[in-house]
Amino acid sequence: MESQGVVDRVGEGDRGLRRATSSLRGHSGRWLALLALFALIAWTVELGWWGHLDQSLTDWAAARRKSPMWDPAKTVFDVATPEVALPITLALGMLAAWRRRRWWIAGEAAIRVGLVVASVLLLKPLLAVPGPTRNALGDHGGAFPSGHTTSTLVCVALLLAWLGRPRQLIGRVLVNAVLVVVVGASVIYLHYHFFSDVVGGVVLGLVIATLPLPGRPDSSQRQPT
């Protein structure tokens, strides 16, 4: 009887491993699709396909730039700046890991925050896409992708995953979507980015936030979204 129990536990462990592996492969497939989507968006931006839409939205925002929305938008912009949001998220990840004794939280925070910094710093000069205000973004342009929207999506996804609130995945998706829309609208309104920069930043954020991390204990079930 005892040996049969051991066999049963081993069998359950094997089935759990197979389910985890299958789920991880599913996450990998979705992640590769997002990566391909980002590459496609970057290519179309380089070809100038977004030009008319970008300029139309920029002109629409310029006509309303003297409204009372300027100060709130500037506050959102300052808070969502990667130099502010990323260190705070990393520090909160370290604190959460220490308090819960779950050190994978610290590792995940370091990996995803590091990927935001590395990808944005590499892609901006590599693609050299000029924004509405060239001088504010550097001589090379460097508007695409929007670092504000990328860091906002990744940081909010991490924080909501660590908090486990809202409990339902759809709730976390909606909260993140609302905050990303607010940040994206702010950077367009303030004349720092085009719409295409924001779209690229959102997709890049999704690429980083959903990157499968096999070392995470529950990586097959609770990827940040």
pLDDT 10s digits, 137-169: 555 568 999 999 999 999 999 999 998 888 888
Cβ neighbours of residue 208 closer than 8 Å, sequence gap 6 or more: 112, 115, 116, 119, 150, 154
Cβ neighbours of residue 225 closer than 8 Å, sequence gap 6 or more: 157, 161, 169, 172, 173, 176, 209, 210
- At residue 21, the pLDDT reads 45
Within-domain flag for 219: no
Within-domain flag for 96: yes
* First-to-last C-alpha distance (Å) of the chain: 44
SS (H, E, C) 51-102: HHHHHHHHHHHHCCCCCCCHHHHHHHHHHCCHHHHHHHHHHHHHHHHHHHCC
In angstroms, rounded to a whole number, what is the distance separating the alpha carbons of residues 200 and 43? 11
Within-domain flag for 150: yes
Q: Give the residue ranges of DSSP H helices in the chain.
A: 2-46, 51-62, 70-79, 82-100, 104-127, 134-137, 147-163, 169-189, 195-209
- At residue 178, the pLDDT reads 97
Within-domain flag for 220: no
Within-domain flag for 138: yes
- At residue 12, the pLDDT reads 46
Q: Would you state the structure tokens that stand for residue 139, as one six-digit string? A: 């001589």
Are 211 and 31 contacting, i.e. CB atoms less than 8 angstroms apart?
yes
In angstroms, rounded to a whole number, what is the distance separating the alpha carbons of residues 184 and 188? 6
Domain coverage including residue 36: 2-209
Are 104 and 218 contacting, i.e. CB atoms less than 8 angstroms apart?
no
CATH label of the domain that carries residue 196: 1.20.144
Number of structural domains found in the chain: 1
- At residue 25, the pLDDT reads 55
Within-domain flag for 61: yes
Within-domain flag for 216: no
Q: Would you state the structure tokens that stand for residue 213, as one six-digit string? A: 């991390």
φ/ψ bin of 194: left (φ > 0), alpha (ψ from -120 to 50), beta (otherwise): beta
Are 45 and 199 contacting, i.e. CB atoms less than 8 angstroms apart?
no
Within-domain flag for 224: no
Q: Mark the ranges of the chain whose per-residue pLDDT is less than 50.
A: 2-24, 135-136, 219-223, 225
